[in-house]
Structure 1
Amino acid sequence: MLTGRPEASRSTRRSFPVIARLILLASTAAVSAAAPAAAQEAAQPAPPAAQDAEPVSTDASETEDAIVVTGARRREEQVQDVPIAISVIGGEQLEQTGSINVGRLTQIQPSVQFFTTNPRNSAANIRGLGAPFGLTNDGIEQGVGIYIDQVYYSRIAVATFDFLDVERIEVLRGPQGTLYGKNTTAGAIAITTRAPTFQPEARLEVSLGNFDHVAAKASVSGPLVDDVLAVRLAASRSNRRGTIYNVATDRWVNEQDNLGLRGQLLWRPLSTVDVTLSADYNRQNPECCAQIYVRTGATQRPLNRQFAALAAAFGYAPPSTDPFDRLTDLDTPLDAFQEIGGVALRAEWDVGPGTLTSVSAWRFWNWGPSNDRDFTGLPITTVSANPSRQNQYSQEFRYAGSGGRFDYVAGLFAYHQKQHTTGAQEQGAAASRWLLNPSSANAGNPAALNGLRSENDIRLETTSLAAFGQLSWHVTDRLTLQPGVRLNYDRKNGAYVAIVITGSGSTTLNNDQRGVLAPQSYRPVFSDWNLSGDFTASYRPGEDVLAYATYAKSFKSGGINLAGLPLDAGNNPILGASTVEPEKVDHFEIGLKTQFLDRRATLNLAGFWTEIRDYQATVTNGQLGVLRGYLANADKVRVRGVEADFSIRPSDRLNLYASGAFTDHEYVRFVDAPCPPELAGGAAASAANPPSAPGTPGGFSPANCDISGQWLPGISKWAASYGGEYNHPATFLGLRGEAYLGIDASYRSRFSSNPSRSAYTDIHGYGLANLRIGFRTDGGWNLFGWVRNVLDAEYYEVLATQSGSTGLVVGQPGDPRTYGITAQARF
């Protein structure tokens, strides 16, 4: 029983950069200046946005105002006219459903998966594809592109930040390389923020909840020069106490601490020209991210070197063996500080039959972590940190036009990225017994590894160039043929240097020490050209029915290993593993988009079949002491399935929605994959000593395993989201409006949480339900209470194993039940 509670949050330990201070001061001044104008406008009802009419969008259009998208084919069009599997979520719905970041989208978009153990080690996938499951390796790219206001964000860590002043999100499923600047082989998440307006407006939102949750968002927009110059400023701040209690430090960990600032300046010198300058700064500074004891499973390591015996030898026991007690005793400081920001200039000029667009951007990312990679309160690994800094520059030119029976898009894209990581890992007094082979004479000598330290210098420089285009030929009023092509060049230059010193300061290492932290120095290089393309045929048999079929041939750039290489029998790096081949994608899709009941109902269906050769996988390194995975190519994987999106508005008072996805997935061929933990940790198998049965202590382990036919990690076979909202006219505190009740629920079936499926790391299926009840007026006021995970379901976001084949399984429990109240106002 806990008798005390630690402090709710930490003070900010780093000052804002100059750009953040300037935006914050400008926001404060603008809000003060706009207050009188906003007060005059408060009594006037705000015009409804078409994208915000559904409580949660599938692909549905409104009865009167169809949802309009721009990211799908780089021009404005109704979503039901786009022959792509696309979902649209309006800004109001993000706020109503508590979808505060990309991670939360998974609860309303069953085809989106998001996994994270900390902001850097995150992955956003669509239909199970995009980024390999496991620890992030900077030498490969995301297969799902995240774009904010048409700017490509290379760091998936941005997905953990709160959405700020968002107008809508478009989730495009399947390859999109013939339309987007950066190649995206699995799909794209295109986020559009609210633009500056020439009519004064302001928005304010404040939320309070359990776990000391406090959040506030504000935005203000208006003209500086009538019809010529307009400004928009937005800010958000959110905090929440951690959900896991560290008994060793008397503190709550895995907290939330987010700050977001954004400013935009719109210049309209002519009615045909818009120039938008934007700047943003986002910062997180939580005490995070702990993974805690879940269970143990038998490996092939000798029994006295598995978790139970090792813990007993130190007189150690975890604070709880029930992970949903949410207790830990980690003895290494936790930190997940990061800041992301940048400046972008977008110019749009209506010229000739179309629009010429230029998007120039610079972005930075600073990462300052600290982790406890042994997941226990013992001094096994006392330092694990890889602080990193990145700068990226991108330029895109694009022309989208229409003429007669043809619509077309053509573009050029250039991207350059520089990243520098300076990592450190240090072992403690318990490392020798925990990590060394039992046959080693040093296995019982604490001094053998105590103070052993690796300091890493990691550099990456990436250049991408592309030319792309797509043509839509309206052969008849019903039939459209749409070919697309992309020419792409990628080059990656890396450098990895690891210097290892002993606790006494010597660089002379014995074989045991090299087996735990190996000195490495290598410079991987990858460069390649590729030509990809797609072809879509769409046919409209009726006014409200669209059928389409697509084939896409796509590539994801090859990669380089920048997390250290596996070792050979002499504990030397295997240089042949320094690069991985490009992924080669063949994608087939058919779809049907329909509306009926006077367009009050929408049903969209999609079937897809995707095969990838040389699939890039992050695999677990089975060597003792090695904490990070490395990259490898699986020969072939396949993902295929069916998706359905349905919504109906039978009356102005009620709307309902349901989305579902069935996804069949497997490694078609991966014959030399690392083995799961139950087949690891034993002596090397041979012809004389064949591999032992899984989980045989002291057994013989194969060098690798054939996992052909097994599941891919992170993908549920079944996933669904469903819900609705009912409203009724009401009066509250003298204000006329409507009361409403909404529910949003989701389900996903069992999935694997290990690159090579293990009996110990499958995550059972689970369902979540969220409720909201509130009152809103036509004048822009909205007050509602909310409960997330209303049934307090116990589930895991990820599971992982401790290095060294000890059998320890750790995990990150999902959020417990949370509740609170939110007040919103628009002026």
Structure 2
Amino acid sequence: MPVAISAISAQTLEQMGVRSTDDLQKAVPGVNVSGQRRDDASFYIRGQGPGIFSFGQRNFTSVATYFAEVPALVSGPGVFFDLGAVQILKGPQGTLFGRNTTGGAVLFDPQRPTQKIEGYVQLSAGNYAYRELEAVMNLPVLPDLLSIRLAGNVAERRGFTTSVLTGQHLDGRDYQAYRASILFTPAAGLENLTIVDGREKDQSGTSAIIRQVDPNTATGALIAPYLAQQQALGVRKTLLPIALYDRQSGFGVTNKTVWEASDAITLKNIISFRRNRVDQASDFDGTPVNTFLIQNVPAGREWQIGQEQFTEEFQVQGKVRSIGLDYILGYYHELTKPGFPQEVRQSLFGNVSVRNLGYRDQSDALFAHAELGLTDQLQLSGGFRYTWDKRAASIGVFNTAGVCTQRVPTGTGPITCPFEASGKFKAPSYDATIQYKPMDRVLTYLSYRRGYKSGGLNLPSPGPEFTTFKPEHVDSFEIGLKADWDIGVPLRTNFSAFVDKYKDIQISQPVVIPGVAITSLVQNAGKATNKGFEFEGTIRPLDTLTINGFVSYLDAHSDVTVPGTAAIKGRQTAFQPKWKYGVNGKLDLPVSDALGTVSLSADYSWQGKVNTNETNTAFLTTYPSHGLLGARVELKDVAGSGIDLAVFGTNLTNKAYILGGFPLVSSLGFESAYYGEPRMYGMSARIRFGN
């Protein structure tokens, strides 16, 4: 495929201990994960990230995540079970399927039902009272007509960060997830696949470790005495004074119909509904000082925020064999809204504000893509998309007595609840690629892609000039080489180099709005350039040994200094390391067939330090570089019994590394972070049955 894509099999995910989106970044070049809460972290690809972090407002991200070919809120555990693969597409997307993006897409592909009676039950246990059950059953109810696949995943783990004030174990894990897939094939060339999935999560909240204060601010002066206490405690204990929790409920239904109408025409329709509910209590400074926290819902309410999404996608896939042409014509529709009246309670320096938030986002698009084989060695391909986005949002800010306190414009205008805003955005996006095969099993390509990301709304807004922000556009240039070599042993290499030129790039930064609390302000920050390269390789020096490795380099920075925004010319984009590399290998050990199959696998990944903001401040914060080591020993099919046993460990050197947090805000005067998992180890037993 003539684009930069990383595909990770289910076996590799298990081998590397990938159980959440946080873990995925150690397996792929050019991909990073960061956020302000554990399990809610979002993807960054080639310097492009999630955009708006504002709690309760819709996020149009630069990197879309898909589950079963449908854009979905995919984060945290409860997703990485019974998967076929995870694919990471890099660069602007939208002319082949789904939603348009400027940074890329991450595709989670669940296993499809098969025509076999098969399944397994797996039990896992480990330190921090870790317990997990995973089960799969596949049943061909009516052979060659109706098959069902059922899968479930339940896990618990005690939190590894302890509040010395409350005794609560933060950063815990407690969830249940399920999936039911029904494949109906009533006739040759016609199939209908329905997937129902859900997840319930009720666990302790995300820890916060204070790392830095600005004593010249009022808040920094209050927090400063606790900084030394926190440093003495280390990163696995915190001074959080209240109990925190994270409750979420997700549900989705996807139906895919594929009809091969003829040898030249295939029709495909994907329709889906997804719903998500969230209730979280969060404290962002990690000290007894009440600076900024999100409080629990009051009595009579179950959830704070939500999202209900309906999508419809129709494709015509065709071939004109006489001229060597393959094409796709498609239509995409997406409608998203909260699904119920949202209410978020924020406390800023002890003053509680109640925010009622609403939104309605609609996106429609027509797209087309074609591939033309000029010769056996030379192919041209290209695509076009036109997207229409309609966005509307509202906000009302009240005190706890229910009295509106929101002034529009902020601080000076009349009391107004709710304040409503809307915007319409539209733009074309397109791509063109030329690929050439100079020899067997060697492919080179050169591509150009024009990407578009919708504009949006800042609510609440510091002023009318900030209420709406403009769309973002990118011109992406990429050259690549994909090849299988025979150097005495099999070697596969994938290399790509890219330059992305952004116009009106959207940058998000937290700001304090008096009387409203903290919000995430998005602004267009002029021009930016992201450039770099990525390399992935696989070699099999022995029939029993496979080694995979990757390295990536990224230079992502603003081309101009924009006053009033988080854009400083030449400074590396936040949360983006310049260098990343990793290596993993699997060795099958020679043992008696009567014993089973023994394999040893290990992986190591490293990434450089990152900035946490691009603002021109004396308190520029960085997260240090870090490397992670993992290993797994597995005995498969013990004595021909269908039982697999494994011992595994992640972060074996017990490295303290930062995943995300709350960057320093000059008006608040502090910076806090949450840390990745410490050394985790355990064992598992899988009982397989059927075929």
Q: How high is the TM-score relative to the length of structure 1?
A: 0.77
The answer to which of 198-207 and 232-241 deviates more is: 198-207
Question: 1:633: how far off?
Answer: 1.0
The aligned amino acid for 1:270 is A
Give the SS at the match of 1:104: helix
1:761 aligns with: 621
Superposed displacement of residue 272, structure 1: 1.0
Q: Match of 2:23, SS?
A: helix
Q: Distance in 2 between matches of 1:123 and 1:317?
A: 28
Match 2:269 to one of 346, 358, 367: 358
Task: Look up the match of 2:427.
Answer: 530
Work out which of the residue numbers 594, 601, 604 in structure 1 matches 2:491: 601
Deviation string for 1:672-706 (max 9, x for gaps)?
A: 2347xxxxxxxxxxxxxxxxxxxxxxxxxxxxxx6
State the Cα distance separating 1:393 from its structure 2 match.
Answer: 0.5
The partner residue of 1:652 within 524, 528, 543 is: 543
CA contact (8 A) 1:87 1:171 kept: yes
Contact 2:534 2:552 in 1 (8 A): yes
The answer to whether the 8 A contact 1:801-1:807 is kept is no
Structure 2: any 5+ residue segments left out of the alignment?
A: 298-303
Please say if residues 340 and 363 of structure 1, whose CA atoms lie closer than 8 Å, have aligned partners that are also in contact.
yes
SS state at 1:736 partner: coil
Residue 182 of structure 1 corresponds to: 99
Q: Contact 1:162–1:258 (CA<8 Å) still a contact in 2? A: no
Of 573, 582, 587, the residue aligned with 2:476 is: 587
Distance 1:750 1:645 in 2: 22
**Is the CA contact (8 Å cut-off) linking 1:615 and 1:635 kept in structure 2?**
yes
Residue correspondence of structure 1 range 796-807 to structure 2 within 5 A? 796-801=658-663, 805=667, 807=669
CA spacing shift, 1:603–1:640, aligned 2, 3 Å: same
Query: 1:715 is matched by which residue type in structure 2?
Result: Q
User: Deviation digits for residues 613-657 of structure 1, max 9, x if unmatched?
Assistant: 111111131667843321111111111001111110122211111
- DSSP-derived class of the 1:469 partner: strand
Q: Is the 8 A contact 2:398 2:405 kept in 1?
A: no
Displacement of 1:118 in angstroms is 2.1
Matched-pair contact (CA < 8 Å) for 1:240–1:256: yes
Gaps of 5+ in 1: 1-81, 432-449, 567-573, 676-705
> Would the aligned equivalents of 1:145 and 1:184 in 2 still touch at CA under 8 Å?
yes
Once structures 1 and 2 are overlaid, which stretch shifts more, 769-778 or 199-208?
A: 769-778
CA distance in 2, matches of 1:508, 1:534: 48
Alignment of 1:552-571 (within 5 A): 552-562=449-459, 564-566=460-462
* 2:196 is the alignment partner of 1:307: no
Aligned to 2:146: 229
Change (3 A) 1:243 1:120: closer
**CA–CA distance in structure 1, aligned partners of residues 440 and 625 of structure 2:** 40
Counterparts of 2:542 and 2:131, CA distance in 1: 36
Contact 2:450 2:476 in 1 (8 A): yes
Compute the displacement of 1:102 (Å): 2.3
**CA 1:609–1:199 in structure 2 vs 1: closer, same or farther (change >3 Å)?**
same
C-alpha distance in 1, partners of 2:489/2:333? 42
Q: CA deviation at 1:482?
A: 0.2
Q: State the match for 2:300 in structure 1.
A: none
State the Cα deviation string for residues 87-146 of structure 1 (Å, max 9, x = none): 111112211211112221101112111113326853212112132385567344112121
Match of 1:619 among 493, 497, 509: 509
- 2:301 aligns with none
- Counting only pairs closer than 5 Å after superposition, residues 244-255 of structure 1 correspond to structure 2 as 244-255=161-172
**CA shift in 2, pair 1:133/1:771, >3 Å:** farther
Contact 1:121 1:135 in 2 (8 A): no
Identity %: 26
What residue is the counterpart of 1:666 in the other structure? 557
- SS in structure 2 of the partner of residue 307 of structure 1: helix
- Segment drifting more, 466-475 vs 393-402: 393-402
SS in 1 for 2:528: strand
CA distance in structure 2 between the aligned counterparts of 1:755 and 1:256, rounded to whole angstroms = 33
Q: In the alignment, which residue of structure 1 is the partner of 2:80?
A: 163
**2:579 is aligned with 1:718:** yes
Which residue in the other structure is 2:367 paired with? 468
Q: Aligned partners of 1:599, 1:398: CA distance in 2, in Å?
A: 42
- 1:620 and 1:521 map into 2 onto residues whose CA distance is 22
- SS of equivalent to 2:48: coil
* Contact map agreement 1:361 1:394 (CA 8 A) in 2: yes
Root mean square deviation, CA, Å: 2.6
Aligned-partner residue type, residue 155 of structure 2: S
Aligned to 1:99: 18
Amino acid at match of 1:372: D
| CA contact 1:594–1:602 (8 Å) conserved in 2 | yes
> Is 1:551 aligned with 2:448?
yes
Q: Is the 8 A contact 1:117 1:798 kept in 2?
A: yes
* Partner Cα distance (1:359, 1:508) in 2: 44
Structure 2 partner of 1:330: 240
Matches within 5 A, 1:367-516: 367-381=278-292, 384=295, 387-404=304-321, 405-419=324-338, 420-427=341-348, 431=349, 452-500=351-399
CA contact (8 A) 1:482 1:537 kept: yes
Matches of 2:641 and 2:439 in 1, distance apart?
39
Instruction: Specify the code of the residue in structure 2 equivalent to 1:762.
Output: T
Please say if 1:727 is aligned against 2:588.
yes
Do the aligned partners of 1:164 and 1:260 also contact (CA within 8 Å) in 2? no
Within-5 A mapping of 1:674-823:
674=565, 707-731=568-592, 735-756=594-615, 759-777=619-637, 780-801=642-663, 805=667, 807-823=669-685
SS in 1 for 2:559: strand
Return the alpha-carbon distance in structure 2 between the equivalents of residues 224 and 623 of structure 1.
59
Of 503, 516, 520, which residue of structure 2 is paired with 1:629?
520
* Equivalent residue letter for 2:231: T
Residue 266 of structure 1 deviates from its aligned partner by 1.0
Q: 1:642 aligns with which of 533, 538, 562?
A: 533
CA distance in 2, matches of 1:310, 1:164: 42
- For normalisation by structure 2, the TM-score amounts to 0.91
Distance in 2, Cα, partners of 1:152 & 1:168: 16
Q: How far off is 1:385 after superposition? A: 5.4
Answer yes or no: is the 8 Å Cα contact 2:512–2:519 preserved in 1: no
Q: Give distance in 2, aligned partners of 1:422 and 1:120.
A: 21
The offset of 1:508, in angstroms, is 7.6
Q: Identify the residue that residue 257 of structure 1 maps to in structure 2.
A: 174
Letter in 1 for 2:475: D
Hey, what does 2:71 align to over in structure 1?
Answer: 152
Q: How far did 1:147 drift?
A: 1.3
CA shift digits 1:16-47 (9 cap, x unpaired): xxxxxxxxxxxxxxxxxxxxxxxxxxxxxxxx
Q: Deviations over 1:706-731 (max 9, x none)?
A: 61221110111001111211112224
Conserved 8 A contact 2:571-2:614: no
Secondary structure of the 1:611 match is strand
Matches within 5 A, 1:61-72: none
Once residues 599 and 460 of structure 1 are traced to their aligned partners in structure 2, the CA distance between those partners, rounded to angstroms, is 56
Distance 1:474 1:455 in 2: 60
Hey, what does 1:825 align to over in structure 2? 687
When structure 1 is superposed on structure 2, of 418-427 and 661-670 the one drifting more is 418-427
**Equivalent AA in structure 2 for residue 472 of structure 1:** E
Q: Which amino acid aligns with 1:377?
A: P
Whole-angstrom CA distance in 1 between matches of 2:604 and 2:647: 17
Residue 384 (structure 1) shift? 3.5
| Cα 1:273–1:334 shift into 2, 3 Å | same
Give the distance between the partners of 1:509 and 1:167, measured in 2 at CA: 49
Once the two structures are superposed, residues 316-372 of structure 1 have per-residue CA deviations (whole angstroms, 9 ceiling, x without a partner) of: 677532463421232233121111111111111111214211111111010111112
SS at match of 2:204: coil
Say if 1:318 and 1:376, in contact at 8 Å, map to a contact too: no
Match of 2:115 among 198, 201, 211: 198
Whichever residue aligns with residue 725 of structure 1, its letter is K
Question: Is the Cα–Cα contact under 8 Å of residues 589 and 600 in structure 2 kept in the other structure?
Answer: no
CA 1:601–1:317 in structure 2 vs 1: closer, same or farther (change >3 Å)? closer
